[in-house]
A and B are shown apart, each in its own frame.
Chain A
Amino acid sequence: MGFFTRKRSATSAKERLQLVLVHDRTDLTPGQLESLKDDLIKAISQYIEIDPEAVRIELEKDGREQRLVADIPLKSSSRHRAG
Chain B
Amino acid sequence: MTSQVITVTSGKGGVGKTTAVANLATALAMDGKRVVCIDGDIGLRNLDVVMGLENRIVYDIVDVIEGRCKLKQAMIRDKHYQEMYLIPAAQTRDKNAVSPSDMVRICKDLRPDTDFIIIDSPAGIERGFRNAIAAADSVLVVTNPEVSAVRDADRVVGILEAEEKGNPSLIINRLNPALVKNNDMLSAEDVLDLLGIHLVGIVPEDETVIIGSNRGTPIVTDGKSRAGQAFRNIAKRLQGVDVPFMDLAPQSGLWNAIQRLAGRK
Contacts and interface: CB of A to CB of B under 8 A. Distances in A.
Interface residues of B, number: 22
B222 to A, nearest CB: 30
Contact of A17 (B150, B180, B185): B150
Contact of A64 (B147, B183, B186, B197): B197
Contacts of B193: 14
Interface stretch (B73-81, B154-162, B257-265): B154-162
B132 to A, nearest CB: 22
Interface in B115-157: 146-147, 150-151, 154-155, 157
A18 B190 CA distance: 10
Given A10-B184, A10-B186, 5 more contacts: A10-B180, A13-B147, A13-B190, A17-B194, A18-B194
B154 A10 contact: no
Contacts of B179: 10
Interface string A1-14: 00000001111011
A24 interface: yes
A70 interface: no
B157 A64 contact: yes
Contact of A10 (B151, B157, B183, B197): B183
Nearest to A14: B190
- 6 shortest interchain CB distances as A-B pairs: A8-B183, A63-B196, A64-B196, A10-B183, A9-B184, A14-B190
Interface in A1-39: 8-11, 13-14, 16-18, 20-21, 24-25
Interface of B: 146-147, 150-151, 154-155, 157-158, 161, 179-180, 182-187, 190, 193-194, 196-197
A64 B193 CA distance: 9
Contacts of A9: 183-185
